[in-house]
Amino acid sequence: MPTRREILEGTAIAAGVLLVPRLVSGGGPAAAAPPFVLPPLPYAADALEPFLDAETMRIHHGKHHATYVAKLNEAIAAAPALTGKPVEELLRDLTAIPEAVRTAVRNHGGGHANHTLFWSSLRPPTASPSAPPASFEAAVKAEFGSLVALGEALEKSALSVFGSGWAWLTLGPDRKLRIETSSNQDSPISAGRTPLLGIDVWEHAYYLRYQNRRADYLSAIRNLLDWGAVGRRFELPAG
Ligand code: MN3
């Protein structure tokens, strides 16, 4: 029996559509790459076991994140003036996005940016943790007391999100660290703040392994947080 993919490809070929990206054949000027591409996971799908399972990671990255990218590209195709702008720039001022695609950019641009940050904020539990920069540790100490206290406060905040959303550690233009939450795929970038760390609390992030036990997922994920990577974002210039 043919697979779903073979059927889809057969249909596409019958319709005269080449599924092989035109870029591969070294195409001409019309063969522009879609503006956004799904970044690969920075580790193997099973690298976060036992805290996050490989199947969840494959679906979360390969289906959910990939869909945000595809739908963001659809929105850009419908509003070509946005072509070439980084996703952070799109999210920074949503009022500047044409109304016809504003919700799509907010949801799918947010989804793309949020997940990209999420993957790169986690590290395999077997990897030796990299120390955050001293400047970040000092800011965390001043605001929250310690990294452990920050982790606890983030976990509590993530637990409080009603429905689908995110818990964040953000940096404001005033250089103040904040814990905040957002609904759906809304990004702190749209509120004028820089996300340093985001924790995905959509059920798709944990349901396969943890079912409805969001608290168990959140305490598991604290074993994976890469404070070195988070702290290095604190040192980047704003913008
Ligand atoms: Mn997600």
DSSP one-letter string for 189-227: GGGT-EEEEEEE-SGGGTHHHHTT-HHHHHHHHTTTB-H
The stretches of 93-146 forming alpha helices (DSSP H) are: 99-104, 110-119, 134-144
SS3 145: coil
> What is the 11 CA–ligand 1 centroid distance (Å)?
31
Selection from 110, 145, 140, 120 nearest residue 39 by Cα: 120
C-alpha of residue 50 to centroid of ligand 1, in Å:
19
Class of the domain covering 134-234? alpha beta
Report the separation in Å between the CA atom of 115 and the middle of ligand 1, taken as the mean of its atom positions.
6
Listed residues: CB within 5 A of ion ligand 1 = 200, 202, 205
Query: Residue 107 and residue 6: Cα distance in Å, rounded?
Result: 31
Q: Each residue of 15-26: pLDDT tens digit?
A: 333 333 333 333
Would you state the pLDDT for residue 15? Answer: 35
Q: How far is the CA of 133 from the centre of ligand 1 (A)?
A: 28
136, 150 contact by CB (below 8 A):
no
For residue range 147-201, what is the model confidence (pLDDT) as tens digits? 999 999 999 999 999 999 999 999 999 999 999 999 999 999 999 999 999 999 9
Question: Could you tell me the pLDDT band of residue 9, with boundaries at 50, 70 and 90?
Answer: very low
Taken in order 119, 191, 207, 75, the sign of the CA dihedral is negative
Instruction: Tell me whether the omega of the peptide bond preceding residue 50 falls within 30 degrees of 0, making it cis.
Output: yes
CA of 78 to the centre of ligand 1 (A): 25
SS (H, E, C) 13-25: HHCCCCCCCHHHH
Counting every residue written for the chain, the total comes to: 239
Asked if the model's pLDDT at residue 12 lies above 60, the reply is no
Question: How far, in Å, is the centroid of ligand 1 from the Cα of 60?
Answer: 6
- Please write the tens of the pLDDT for every residue from 45-75: 999 999 999 999 999 999 999 999 999 999 9
Distance 5 CA to ligand 1 centre (A): 24
- Tokens 């250089």, residue? 175
| Distance in Å, CA 204 to ligand 1 centroid | 6
165 CA from centroid of ligand 1 (Å): 9
Distance 41 CA to ligand 1 centre (A): 13
Mean model confidence pLDDT for the chain: 88
How far, in Å, is the centroid of ligand 1 from the Cα of 2? 31
Instruction: State what percent of residues in the chain have pLDDT above 90.
Output: 82
Q: How far is the CA of 210 from the centre of ligand 1 (A)?
A: 15
d(CA 96, CA 83): 14
Helices of type H across 34-146: 54-59, 66-78, 87-92, 99-104, 110-119, 134-144
User: 209 to each of 18, 35, 81, 120, 153, how far by Cα in Å?
Assistant: 38, 34, 42, 21, 24
Give residue for tokens 């805290």.
Answer: 51
Sheet holding 165-171: strands in order across? 177-183, 165-171, 194-200
Predicted confidence at residue 135, as pLDDT, reads 97
The Cα–Cα gap between 147 and 153 comes to 10
Spans of all domains in the chain: 54-119, 134-234
Q: State mean pLDDT over 218-225.
A: 96
Ligand 1 mean position, distance from CA 164 (Å): 9
The pLDDT of residue 34 is 79
CATH code that applies to domain 54-119: 1.10.287.990
CA distance 100 to 95: 11
State mean pLDDT over 27-55. 85
* Ligand 1 midpoint to CA 57 (Å): 10
pLDDT at 3 over 70: no
